[in-house]
A and B are shown apart, each in its own frame.
Chain A
Amino acid sequence: MTFTPLNIVLFGIIALLGVGFYGLLITRNLIKIVMVLQVLIKSVILALVLAGKLSGNLGLGQSTAATVIVADTIVAVVGLALAVQVRRRLGTLDVPQISSMRG
């Protein structure tokens, strides 16, 4: 197995993915969760471009990555808007507290 510089990129992607998953498991704050999702998406963008480069079809890889960037921005925007509303109505951004609320 040859070790190319692209392997480093692969490990970087997987490490970012791992940190992102860890963050999702640990975080209690709703806004922080939106941020961790951003980290995860960055690893996905890297992965898509890497895949494009490896299969030689970089144009396709880039266009898919562009789509993902747009989609993830919308997700961030809507998620933050929801977080703001949750804070206004329920008074807290703590996810376990929100889950255990009744009514």
Chain B
Amino acid sequence: MESIQYTVFLLGAIFCAYRAIVAKRILSATIYLACISALVSATLYLLGAAQVAVMELSVGAGLVTVLLVYAVSVVGDDAMDPASVIPKPLAFGVVGLVAVLLGWMAFPAVRITAATGSFDLASSLWQNRVLDVWIQIALIFSGVMGVLGLLSEKVPGAKEEVEQ
């Protein structure tokens, strides 16, 4: 039963990922990205990480989607899809080799060992990895500052127009 659920979710995720990459319009790709988030979130829940699943869903399917839509609205959705720089067979080959090797080597590592740490995310975050949390907070602040600084720059031409 579990296997089927995993298979469905992950196959769906892979399919959506592929569609997102080859999509011609960015908005379509955004929708597919949101679907990936949902499926990955479901997988995470199945694995037992409920809190992270919720985070992933809200951030991936929510925040990132909104950001992308905003960016596209500012930039304009040029439907361009010229040929890629690297020949597709070469890319496919290299990536395929990497994937096969990784899979081959990682396969034996999938063994469940006895539980050692706590299951609860909250206690783990705030007791064991307090430093992590503070760094994340700092990271969020700096990211917001940087984005504000980046986005608030006026384009030189626009400023002159305003003054005239």
- A positions within 8 Å CB-CB of B: 1, 4-12, 14-23, 25-29, 31-32, 34-36, 38-39, 42, 45-46, 49-50, 52-67, 69-71, 73-74, 76-78, 80-85, 87-89, 93-94, 96
Contacts and interface: CB of A to CB of B under 8 A. Distances in A.
Interface residues on B, range: 35 or more
Contacts, number: 247
A66 B55 contact: yes
B150 interface: yes
Interface of B: 2-3, 6-7, 9-11, 13-14, 17-18, 20-21, 26, 29-30, 33, 36-37, 40, 43-44, 47-49, 51-52, 55-56, 59-60, 63-64, 67-68, 70-72, 74-76, 78, 80, 82, 84-86, 88, 91-92, 94-96, 98-99, 102-103, 106-121, 123-125, 128-129, 132, 135-136, 139-140, 142-144, 146-147, 150-151, 153, 155
B6 A36 contact: no
A67 B132 contact: yes
A15 B99 contact: yes
B34 to A, nearest CB: 10
A77 B147 contact: yes
A17 to B, nearest CB: 7
Given A19-B14, A22-B91, A77-B144, 7 more contacts: A9-B6, A26-B21, A35-B26, A45-B52, A55-B113, A63-B128, A84-B151
Of all A-B residue pairs in the complex, the 3 with the closest CB atoms, nearest first, are: A12-B10, A59-B124, A74-B143
